[in-house]
Amino acid sequence: MAAPSDSDLLDFDYKDLSVTPATAKELLAKHGNTYRDQLVIARWLNRWRRDALETSKGQTDPKYLDGFGAALDATAAILRQGDLLHDGTIYLSETSR
């Protein structure tokens, strides 16, 4: 299986994120494979969310599933925004403690 292209990795909904398509391309140019890895993880989290919610309907408390889905979405957003990259907001906050 071939690795996804940069265009594929950058093809996500930017609506609720603090990153734009242009800034995501800048992050990719600056951080290369580190950011690519985070984008792959974000895609996997979205797929895991979708699959888990589909297979768990009727078997798991809907409130739990909502919270689980929201946590995965939030984690994927953090990765896509570059917050854990060396100059990202979470990285800088955690390394300045």
Higher-pLDDT residue of 6 and 63 is 6
Cα 31–Cα 35–Cα 39 angle in degrees, nearest 5: 160
pTM over 0.75: yes
What gap in Å lies between CA 73 and CA 78, rounded to an integer? 9
Is residue 4 a part of any domain in this protein? no
% of the chain exceeding 70 in pLDDT: 100
Q: Is the pLDDT of residue 66 over 90?
A: no
| Domain count for the chain | 1
Is residue 13 a part of any domain in this protein? no
pLDDT tens per residue across span 24-51? 999 999 999 999 999 999 999 999 998 8
Is residue 14 a part of any domain in this protein? no
Is 48 buried (19+), middle (13-18) or exposed (0-12) by CB count in 10 A? middle
Is residue 6 a part of any domain in this protein? no
Which residue range is the domain that position 81 belongs to? 21-95
What gap in Å lies between CA 47 and CA 94, rounded to an integer? 28
Residue 61 corresponds to which tokens in the numbers above? 């408390």
